[in-house]
Amino acid sequence: MSDPIASDPTAPWLIVGLGNPGPEYAANRHNVGFMVADLLAERMGGRFKSHKARAQVVEGRVGPPGPGNRRVVLAKPMSFMNLSGGPVTALRDFYKVGTANIVAVHDELDIDYGALRLKLGGGDNGHNGLKSMTKSLGPDYHRVRFGIGRPPGRMQVADFVLRDFSSAERKELGYLVDRAADAVEALVIEGLERAQSAYNS
């Protein structure tokens, strides 16, 4: 099956880091999508600016100079996680992005800490950000899933995802966020299958 990349190489990609706005959430496990988006913006040499779609955005390119690079819009919805679909839909319409050119970067409970899985489509697995996006867009967008593991003991999922990464996890977090940003770039530049074979674990 060929990768569902728009045949028009000038069509932009919309890369959405999922998280909750506000400093009290910034280091939470649930905000790893924002962390990856921040790093991608840094690599692009851009700064997030407010957009009327209730999101922070950076426009730029990823990839080597020339025909191999891609136009991208990086976005961090400024709604809360469970309302992410509204801003993403507004950005899709504003930038005229096909659904197959949308990438959600998000935390994933059912994957070990730090492991990555890239996929196209699928369910939301109880993730409120994906649930909201799927309700607005349908399921046929890409996902870069960043494993955070399951909560220990009897801790509730909601408490676990809204806590900061542990001190042991933080030792590796910078490297893992860097790798996730690499995976997003590979997905956009090289297509899903190549990115999966390089980064899925």
Active site residues: 30
Best CA proximity match to 128, nearest among 155, 144, 109, 142: 109
Residue 169 structure tokens: 């996890």
Q: Give first-to-last CA distance, the chain, whole Å.
A: 21
Beta strands in the chain (DSSP E): 13-17, 49-51, 55-62, 70-77, 102-108, 116-120, 142-147
Q: What's the CA gap between 16 and 106, in Å, rounded? A: 9
Contact 14, 55 (CB under 8 A): no
- Cα–Cα dist 77/34, whole Å: 9
